[in-house]
Amino acid sequence: AQSVSQHNHHVILSEAASLELGCNYSYGGTVNLFWYVQYPGQHLQLLLKYFSGDPLVKGIKGFEAEFIKSKFSFNLRKPSVQWSDTAEYFCAVNARGGTASKLTFGTGTRLQVTL
């Protein structure tokens, strides 16, 4: 079974600071990788995903993530955060194959951006 680790539980940044949130997964096979965002009081929304091709993927709102296969990592980055990026961020993975796209989620990272 796959597992996902997000080592940063709570991150506080000032506006315009750069962001990098760590995500590591464990699974021996081929995986699809996702970052979801949950704004306060809202449901989860897809930020970006990787399933093949260029390991650097760009998502909405200026976010990007890089898949490094050798490190089993899929870190999320943004060069300059905004106050509106305050949210909880979840990394998720599913294994290729199987009967349904069951995602395994990390425990989440709460990002707080201060003015």
Partner 1 sequence: NAGVTQTPKFRILKIGQSMTLQCTQDMNHNYMYWYRQDPGMGLKLIYYSVGAGITDKGEVPNGYNVSRSTTEDFPLRLELAAPSQTSVYFCASTPTPGDRGISSYNSPLHFGNGTRLTVT
Q: Which of 19, 21, 25, 34 binds partner 1 (CB under 8 A)?
A: 34
Outline where DSSP puts E strands in the chain: 3-5, 10-14, 19-21, 24-26, 31-38, 45-50, 56-58, 64-68, 73-78, 87-95, 104-105, 109-114
> Which C-beta is closer to partner 1: that of 17 or that of 105?
105
Question: How many angstroms separate the CA atoms of 73 and 23, rounded?
Answer: 6
Tell me the number of residues near partner 1 by CB under 8 A. Answer: 26
Tokens of 104: 């395994």
Q: Which of 29, 40, 53, 97 binds partner 1 (CB under 8 A)?
A: 97
> Which C-beta is closer to partner 1: that of 12 or that of 46?
46
Does position 29 interact with partner 1 (CB under 8 A)? The reply is no
Question: How many angstroms separate the CA atoms of 49 and 64, rounded?
Answer: 9
Q: Which residues bind partner 1 (CB under 8 A)?
A: 4, 9, 32, 34, 36, 42-46, 49, 51, 90, 94, 96-103, 105-108
